[in-house]
A and B are shown apart, each in its own frame.
Chain A
Amino acid sequence: MNAPFAPTRISPLFDEQAPHAAKWTQVETMQTVASFGSADAARLPLAGIGDLSFRRRAGVKGPGAAAWLNALGIATPERMNSWLRMDDGTLVLRLGNTEYLVEDMPGGGRTAQMSATAPTHGVYPVPRYDAALIVAGRNALELTRQTCAFDFTTLSPAAQGLAMTSMVGVGITAVAMESGGETYYRLWCDGTYGGYLWATLVEVASDLGGGAVGLESLGRLAQQ
C-alpha cells in the first residue's frame, strides 16, 4: 500500500451545494462549484453568497502562538480581534487575544509549513474545518441585518477589525473587506454548521435579488 496520492478534500458545503451546482472545478484538491447557472453574475452586485472553503487554513493558539508564528515568518496582527494580509496574500486573523487563523491563497504554503513544524511550549495547534463564505453586493448589509444582531457597520475594511458573533444561531467569525469601492464580508464557521449557514444565507439573499454565486463569477473577490 505504497501509492502516495493526495486524497480528495471534501468541502463542508458539498452536500448542500451539489443539487444546485451547474459546473464544478477543483482548487487545492477540493471540489468547488464554478457556477450555479447563468444567474450567478447578476446576483453578485445585489446579494451574492460565494464560497472560499477550498482555501487551506490552519489555526494555533496559546501564550507562545504569536512568537511561534513569527519565527516561521508569519506576521501577526498587533491588536486583538483584527486581521492582516501579508504580501503574498496570506490572511492572518487574530481571534481574541492568543488564537490565530492563517489562510493561504491557492498555491500558498504557510499552512503546510505550520503543520510540518512541531509546536513548542505554550503552542497549541488548532485543526480547522471551516465553511468560508463571502457575502457581497449592495444588499449585503441588509442581509446581515436580517440574520445577525451584530451591527456590521462597526466593521470597516480600513480598520481591519474582526468580530466573533452569532448569525442565524451559528457561531461565526466576520471581517469586512473592500473591492472596487464596495464593502463585502467574509465569514467563517464550523464546517458541520456550514451547510445550514450556506443554505440559510442563500435563501435570504434570494429575497434580496441575489443568491449563490459560483467561483467563476466572484472575480476579484476570489483573488484577495
Chain B
Amino acid sequence: MKLMTCPINGTRPISEFAYWGEIRPAPDADTCSDDQWAEYVFHRNGAPGVKKEWWCHTPSNTWFIAERDTEKDKVLRTYLHGDDK
C-alpha cells in the first residue's frame, strides 16, 4: 500500500489519509462569466504530471499539501499550507 508523509505526523500508509483533490485557482466568482465558472466547478485536468493536492491525515485531522507526479505515481514532497518556500 502506498505511503504518504504527513508533515506533522510522519510517514503512514495511505489508508490513514483522505484525498480532497487538486488545488486549482478559482476565477473571481463575482466577475467571471458563467462559462468560466462552470468550467472551474465541473472540469478537472486529467493530464498526467505533477499536481498540487490537498490531503488530510484523518486520525489527527491534519490538512497539508502534496505535490504528486501522477505519471510516475510518486509523491515529491508534502508540506503545510503556507510552508512551500
- Min CB distance B17 to A, Å, is 10
Count B interface residues, CB 8 Å.
11
Which residue of chain B has its CB nearest to the CB of A169? B15
Query: Is A118's beta carbon under 8 Å from chain B?
Result: no
Complex interface: chain A residues within 8 A of B58 (CB): 166, 171
Contact B8 A149 (CB under 8 A): no
Contact A164 B15 (CB under 8 A): no
Contact A165 B8 (CB under 8 A): no
- Min CB distance B73 to A, Å, is 20
In the bound complex, how far is the Cα of B61 from the Cα of A166, in angstroms? 12
Query: Is B36's beta carbon under 8 Å from chain A?
Result: no
Query: Is B74's beta carbon under 8 Å from chain A?
Result: no
Contact B8 A163 (CB under 8 A): no
Residue of B9, B12, B13 with most chain A CB atoms under a 10 A cut-off: B9
Contact of A149 among B15, B60, B62 (CB under 8 A): B15
Query: Is A32's beta carbon under 8 Å from chain B?
Result: no
In the bound complex, how far is the Cα of B60 from the Cα of A164, in angstroms? 6
- Min CB distance A168 to B, Å, is 12
Query: Is B16's beta carbon under 8 Å from chain A?
Result: yes
Query: Is B46's beta carbon under 8 Å from chain A?
Result: no
Which residue of chain B has its CB nearest to the CB of A172? B59
A residues apposed to B, CB below 8 Å: 80-81, 95-97, 149-150, 163-166, 171-172
A-B residue pairs in contact (CB < 8 Å), sample of 13: A80-B8, A96-B60, A149-B13, A149-B15, A164-B57, A164-B59, A165-B9, A165-B59, A166-B15, A166-B16, A171-B58, A171-B59, A172-B59
